[in-house]
């Protein structure tokens, strides 16, 4: 039984399906949910310098906005679920960052969606879910995209 569930989100409608699935699992088992969003490279390395007169770099504002988006997502989709953590992580590759984060936090399960690409798009871009499955230290529950059987 999973007690620690990692849910990567990119704020798409598809990733919200994974949040909803994790909510059901947590409600049934009392599991703790960690929502994680992978920032673009460099966003988390930038920081505000006290006393700085210039506006903050765009990357810092992006991280702040995405942190606010995670808070809204929690209140809109996980209200009533105790034990929800929100985290922003930086990574060159979303899949690697997700797998490394799951390892570092000793997660029992990752719940995520796939964008359902096929054909040449899949061959060129690959699948983040597919890469996470290959490198994850725990089971990965992949919630199918709309239109899957």
pLDDT tens-digit readout, 86-122: 998 888 888 999 999 999 999 999 999 886 555 554 4
pLDDT band for 129, please (50, 70, 90 cuts).
confident
Asked whether the predicted pLDDT for residue 82 surpasses 70, the reply is yes
Encode pLDDT of 1-23 as tens digits.
789 999 999 888 888 999 999 99
Distance of alpha carbon 138 from alpha carbon 103, whole angstroms: 8
Q: What is the pTM of this model?
A: 0.79
Position 149 scores a pLDDT of: 45
Domains along the chain with CATH numbers:
4-143 (3.40.50.620)
Sheet holding 4-8, edge to edge: 84-90, 32-39, 4-8, 109-113, 140-143
Alpha helix ranges (H) inside 1-48: 13-29
| The pLDDT of residue 91 | 82
């Amino acid at each position: 039984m999973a007690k620690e569930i990692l849910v990567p989100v990119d704020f798409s409608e598809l990733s919200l399906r994974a949040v909803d699935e994790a909510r059901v699992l947590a409600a049934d088992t009392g599991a703790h949910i960690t929502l994680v969003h992978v920032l673009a490279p460099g966003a988390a390395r930038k920081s505000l310098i006290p006393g700085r007169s210039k506006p903050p770099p765009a990357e810092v504002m992006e991280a702040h906005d995405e942190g606010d988006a995670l808070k809204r997502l929690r209140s809109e989709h996980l209200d009533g679920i105790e034990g929800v953590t929100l985290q922003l992580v930086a990574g060159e590759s979303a899949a690697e960052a997700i797998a490394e984060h799951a390892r570092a936090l000793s997660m029992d399960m990752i719940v995520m969606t796939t964008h359902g690409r096929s054909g040449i798009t899949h061959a060129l871009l690959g699948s983040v879910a597919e890469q996470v499955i290959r490198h994850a230290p725990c089971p990965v529950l992949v919630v199918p995209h709309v239109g899957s059987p």
